[in-house]
Structure formats: structure tokens, C-alpha cells
Structure 1
Amino acid sequence: MSNQSPNPSRDEACCSPLVQEPLSMDRTVQLARMFKALGDPVRLRLLSLIASHLGGEACVCDISDSFDLSQPTISHHLKVLRQAGLLDCERRGTWVYYRVVPGTLQQLSATLDMSDLSHTVDEALVTS
């Protein structure tokens, strides 16, 4: 017989901010902007290319060949990712280098991580 409570508290059940408590309006707006930016396949791929690039940063010249799009279109998508708070940039001479804002991907992942909750729910079903 298990001595664990079949109905764990919310804090015990999950560490995901999404289910611990309601998101603040500011945080909701911030997350919505990020997820909306990532809803476009080109932007999602751009973020992935930059995050996985050697040194964690890339200039437009490094990633433009990965797309059948014009350089201004790539720059527009990068601007959207920057405005959403996902990318940061730095001008070096004539080139602009982009990098993922530190901690952003972990924040998005943690917001959606419900693995702890599903594991706890499964345990509760087995012990009841």
C-alpha cells in the first residue's frame, strides 16, 4: 500500500508555470508574441539554424542559402523574431549577427512542460 497521497497538491503535481497558477497578463502577451513568431515555418527554421550554428550566432550571410527567399525577406523574418524577444543582434561592420536570447528557449519549454503533471496523474490513477 502506498503512503503517498492520491491527490497531490498543485505544487507537487507540476512545475510548469502554465498550470501552477494563471499567467499574468504581461507574461501572457509576451508568450503569445513569441509563440506567434514561431508559428511561421520560416521563422522556426531560422531560430533553429541560429541556435544550432557554431558559436550560437549567425549572420544573414550564413543562413540565407538555406532558404529559397530573398535576403530582405529573411531580414524581415529575423526582425519579427527580434521583436518577439527571441533573438538579439549585433552589427559588426556591414554584417548583422543574430543569436538566441539566453534562457528564452528554456522559458518556452518550461511553460509547456507538462511531463511532471502527466506522470503524477498516471501515479494517482494507479494508486486509486
Structure 2
Amino acid sequence: MIHLHLTAIVLAVVFFFITYFSIKNPGDKNAKYAKVPHMIARLLYVVVLVSGLVLFIQAMGINGMLYGLKFLAGLFTIGLMEMAVIRKRKATGQTMFITFLVLAVITIGLGIYLPMGPVTALFR
């Protein structure tokens, strides 16, 4: 399940960047090259959320509070990804994009640090 989660995260971030940077003119509500990658990114957000919820339920016995914080941080990160694209279409997306980057670094850091993460798995 963790491989599905990590693959979906990478693909969602790639499609988010494709969507965000394919909106050439901020304020263009009909950016035609951004619609398909945005829909694919939304589908991948659902896969990330469902696989993250399954991993969260599996990890409740290990370190529940930190996994809960990571789940909330991941939820807010996905929300910020969506809001950044929508705000860029309305010409005000720079603040949301920077906030997304900061929260994504925090979420990735928590994911690496926690017991099911790759760094901890190296020392088992």
C-alpha cells in the first residue's frame, strides 16, 4: 500500500506542476491546456487520500499522534494544491503556491521521519 501511496503522491505533484505552469495568463478562466492535467491531478488526489487513510489506520498502533499530524498536513497540502491552481486562474495564486511548498516540505519531512518512512526502514 505504501508503494501505491508514494507513486500517487509523485504523480499528483507532477500533474499539479504541469497544471499550474500551463496556465500562461493568470486570470484566464478557460486555460484549455490546463483542464485535462487538472482533472488527472484531482483523480490522483483521491487516490492519495484513500491510500493515506489506509496507511493511517494501519499505523495507529505505532505512533498515532504523529501519523495524525501527517494525515492533517497531507490533507491541507492537497487542499492548497487545488486552491493554488484555482487562484492562479483568478490571478492571485502566488501566496497559495508558496504556502503549498512550505507545507509540502513539512509533510514530506514527517513522512520520511515516521516509522513507516524510508529512512527508518533502512535501520530495521
Larger Rg: 1
Same structural fold, with TM-score higher than 0.5 when normalized by the shorter chain: no
Task: Give the number of the structure with larger relative contact order, counting CA–CA contacts within 8 Å between residues 6 or more apart.
Answer: 1
Q: Tell me which protein shows more strand as a share of its residues.
A: 1
Q: Which has the higher helix share?
A: 2
TM band (smaller chain): 0.3 to 0.5
TM-score by length of 1: 0.32
